[in-house]
Amino acid sequence: LINEMDNSNPELKRTLQKCTLNIKSFRPSDFVLGHRGAALQFPEHTDRSHDAATRMGAGVVECDINLTKDKQLICRHEMCDLHLTTNVLMTPLASKCTKQFRPAIGNLPATAKCCTTDFTLSEIQTQMCGRMSSSNKHAKTPQQYISHTKSFQTELYAHDCPHIQSHKNFIDVVNANGGSFSPEYKMLDYKFTKQYTRQMFLEQVLHDYNSTDPSRVYFQGFEWEDLYYVAKTPFGLNTFALDKNWLALTYTRHQLLNYFHPLVDNGVTAIAPSISMLLEVDTENNLVPTLYAKVARELGLGIVAWTLERSDALSKGGGWYYSTISQVLRTDSDVIKVLDVLYEDVGIMAIWTDWPSVATFYANC
């Protein structure tokens, strides 16, 4: 990547080239956040994905937290993604899915919907295997449906039933590697009841960290009210307000101040939007911070970006995560340029990545 860099930032290129020659060892960095582990090549939220992330230098690793049928905490990006991220459709448990597999017919795509709440934790962990997230809308059989890994990913690490992690399993794996934790509150579409409220869900997650130093836990979520609750506990030291409100990119400075102030007032420490909300291209084709990024920093909010190394080659434009800057991306080495502008000019405190080694190299150099 470094050898491919153009000369738009010769000082950065020289610095990194010198580092490759002189650095003897790499240290984990809390600047590097393992997104679902190391999900670019390892089945997300499995033991090997979480382990690989810390081995590649992610100082912090993520667990998206959902509930099982028996109210146990499990690491899954979405409550209803088991048909995409496991082999459940190839097991006897498929009959329990919210929506069983339906093959493609004419112009109607193949569909299925299997949720963590359809199964107990034991069923998921003893009868399912993690796999690379994918689906085939043209599938006629369940096997075809799950055999559609993206061209830039691999099945090499999914062949022998990667273990799906409970929240407690995740804590054990990351602890064993000396890492820190970023639990994300999910269950966004779940209908809580008086018998089991959302606050009880928040408390259940917090309880699993009772014996953990609060400084090692980085709570995150799209429901900002959840973070307001956490901010009042000893675990309020590090809280990331996830943001996918693309409309905020059209806000004036005054509107952005009003938008961010509830976070500041409630003790949330950082805003966490996508890369595409933090960078834009100026009239001279330079990557520069958006007004959104400038105002967040002005208010003293930390900034955490997502997600590096989650898409196809940057030489192909990089996909959705780079949608606001794709016109100036030319080679895969531009990932270094993007990362440097995010750190030096936007002022991010950390970045989510599906392949932590690149950000770890940058952080160490």
Distance CA 363, CA 365 (A): 6
Q: In sequence order, what DSSP letters do the residues of 337-351 get, joined into one string? A: HHHHHIIIII--SEE
Q: Compute the Cα dihedral for 39, 43, 44, 46 and give only its sign.
A: negative
What gap in Å lies between CA 121 and CA 82, rounded to an integer?
A: 13
pTM to 2 decimal places: 0.96
pLDDT bracket for residue 201 (50, 70, 90): very high
Reference 188, options 225, 159, 223; nearest CA is 223
> Does residue 351 carry a pLDDT above 90?
yes
Contact between residue 37 and residue 44 where contact means Cβ atoms under 8 Å apart:
yes
How many other CB atoms are found less than 10 A from the CB of residue 104?
A: 16
Residue 316: DSSP 8-state: G
pLDDT digits (tens, 9 = 90+) for 184-198: 999 998 999 999 999
Question: How far apart are alpha carbons 126 and 158 in whole angstroms?
Answer: 16
**What does the alpha-carbon distance between residue 75 and residue 37 come to, in Å, rounded to a whole number?**
10
Burial of residue 51 (CB within 10 Å: 0-12, 13-18, 19+) is buried
> How is residue 158 annotated by DSSP?
S
pLDDT bucket at 308, cuts 50 / 70 / 90: very high
pLDDT band at 313 (very low <50, low <70, confident <90, very high): confident
CA-nearest of 336, 339, 337, 358 to 348 is 339
C-alpha span between 322 and 193 (Å, rounded): 40
Confidence check: pLDDT of 333 > 90:
yes
